Structure 1
């Protein structure tokens, strides 16, 4: 199954072929700042199964692991579409909200729950994803 994700204006997109490795909700402060929301949601795919289209700008930061994350966002509308985490070599994370079709992209895990807002309650089973 091929899935397409794109930014708000459509200038930057990425296509993923096959099932995701996992879908992860992140409550860390860096994801809250990056998304402007209460958390971020990453859909991880094998990098070999993804194809990028359009120009992107990037921002690289160090994670708590001491390894970098390189975020790719649209230089026109500013939406973060995908990122490459050094701590997960060979995987590309795609922002859940950027997908055209979000069916069957249920989270299988949540991380940094100690930074989760008390009013955020999530209910997911994670069925069908592998670690």
Structure 2
């Protein structure tokens, strides 16, 4: 069974994940663009029981473009987000793929809010696409 560690920049906050993600997606919504400082976010969704956070986190609840939003857990020392709880999906925890620092992490299979996608971004194919 696959075992991965997601970490903040300073290493104080981590999340150990056992098993494969149930979904890997990219989101082009404006809230994700602002939160990440990039043109989209990429995250892997795992069953809650597969994720074990360690360390101290600060929390920020952010409304999404649609839906209930998410509770983000970030390091109070270096400010990197390590995991978040999608408020409409309490049985899951999502982890920004960059927190794994693994260039071999699988590609996303879902791309959402493509109506807000930067024109130069080309989502991977094949993938499910949603406006």
TM-score w.r.t. length of structure 2: 0.90
Whether contact under 8 Å (1:107, 1:125) holds in the other structure is no
Offset, 1:105: 2.1
Partner of 1:89: 90
TM-score w.r.t. length of structure 1: 0.90
Q: 2:105 and 2:67 mapped to 1: Cα distance? A: 32
The alignment covers a number of residue pairs equal to: 126
SS at match of 2:20: coil
Gaps of 5+ in 2: none
Deviation per CA, 1:65-99, whole angstroms, max 9, x where unpaired?
44231001110111111100011221000000010
- Larger relative contact order, structure 1 or 2 (CA cutoff 8 Å, min sep 6): 1
RMSD between aligned residues: 1.4
Gaps of 5+ in 1: 127-131
Partner of 1:61: 62
Structure 2 counterparts to residues 90-105 of structure 1, below 5 A: 90-105=91-106
SS at match of 1:98: helix
Deviation per CA, 1:17-41, whole angstroms, max 9, x where unpaired?
0010010100001001110011000
